[in-house]
Structure formats: structure tokens, C-alpha cells
Amino acid sequence: MRGQVVVIKAPHIQENVMKWDAAKPTYIIKRPYSNDQLILGGFLQKGDWTADTFREQTEDILKRTTELYPKILEENRKGKRIEDLEILRVVAGLRPGREGGARIEKEFVDAGRVLIHNYGAAGYGYQAGIGMADKAVSLALDRLKL
């Protein structure tokens, strides 16, 4: 799956905000310990492995995120227009995903051995990673009966 995000500098934003849509999830993620970086996204395109970024997608991301959370512009010290944002980079990411979403489950493989599956988060691995890991550990501990 292909995703595209815009990373801006925004010291005035401390919150994470998200509005889900299968093709165009709109999210604002404050990257911790990053010198005030804010991730604005995004796109989620199944079957597209193009590593290039596209200006029209960048413009769409900036429009959707600033409409969802106007504080991005309202409190921006460099101005109140999208053009005033300090864009650090635009990135396209190719993310491993699977039909049906992430797989987190226990599989009995042979002679009492267990395989814990935990993969396929696609573009939401950063947001869901801790919860997915917690679920996988719970499955493993349940098997060990500790």
C-alpha cells in the first residue's frame, strides 16, 4: 500500500487528531522528541507501489488537515495561510498491509509449538503498534500460562 504524508514544523500543536476514511484518512500526529515535527496525512492506496510524491496529493492533505484542525493555521507564527506553513518534507511510504486488516492471532503449528502473528498494519502501524504488541504479548503469555 502506498501512503503520502506531509511533515511540517508546528511547535504550537501538541494534539493528535484523526478522521477516518478508507481511501483518504485525515490525521495529524505530533511526533514526540522531534523538534516540533507534525505529520499530516494522508493517502492509503492499495496496490499502488509508486514511491514518488504528488503535488495534488500534498495540496489535498494540507487542505483536509487544516480544515479538520484549524489551529494548525490559526496559531501558526509565520502566518495564517497554507502557504505560510513550514513544510519540512513530503514523503511517500510503501507499507506492508493485508486485505482484512492487521493479523494478530495465535496459530498452533506442531507438537505444542505456537506462532504468534502480528503484522499487516499498513499505514497505521505507528498509531496502532503499542496496542498490537500488547495483544500479541497477551496471546503469547496466555499460551505460556504465566
Rounded CA-CA distance 114/128 in Å is: 23
Neighbouring C-beta atoms of residue 35, cutoff 10 Å? 8
pLDDT of amino acid 44: 84
pTM: 0.77
Euclidean distance between the first and final Cα of the chain, in Å? 38
- pLDDT tens for the chain, 146 residues long, are 899 999 999 999 999 999 987 778 899 999 989 999 999 998 888 889 999 999 999 999 999 999 999 999 999 999 999 999 999 999 999 988 888 889 999 999 988 788 999 998 887 777 788 999 999 999 999 867 65
Q: Could you give the residue range(s) of every CATH 3.30.9.10 domain in the chain?
A: 2-94
Give the residues across from 106 on adjacent strands. Answer: 116
- Which single residue is written with the C-alpha cell 509449538? 113
In the three-class reduction of DSSP (H, G, I as helix; E, B as strand; rest coil), residue 97 is classed as strand
Which residue's C-alpha cell is 499498513?
A: 122
Given CATH 3.30.9.10, say whether it is the number of domain 2-94.
yes
Cα(17)–Cα(139) distance, rounded to whole angstroms?
A: 30
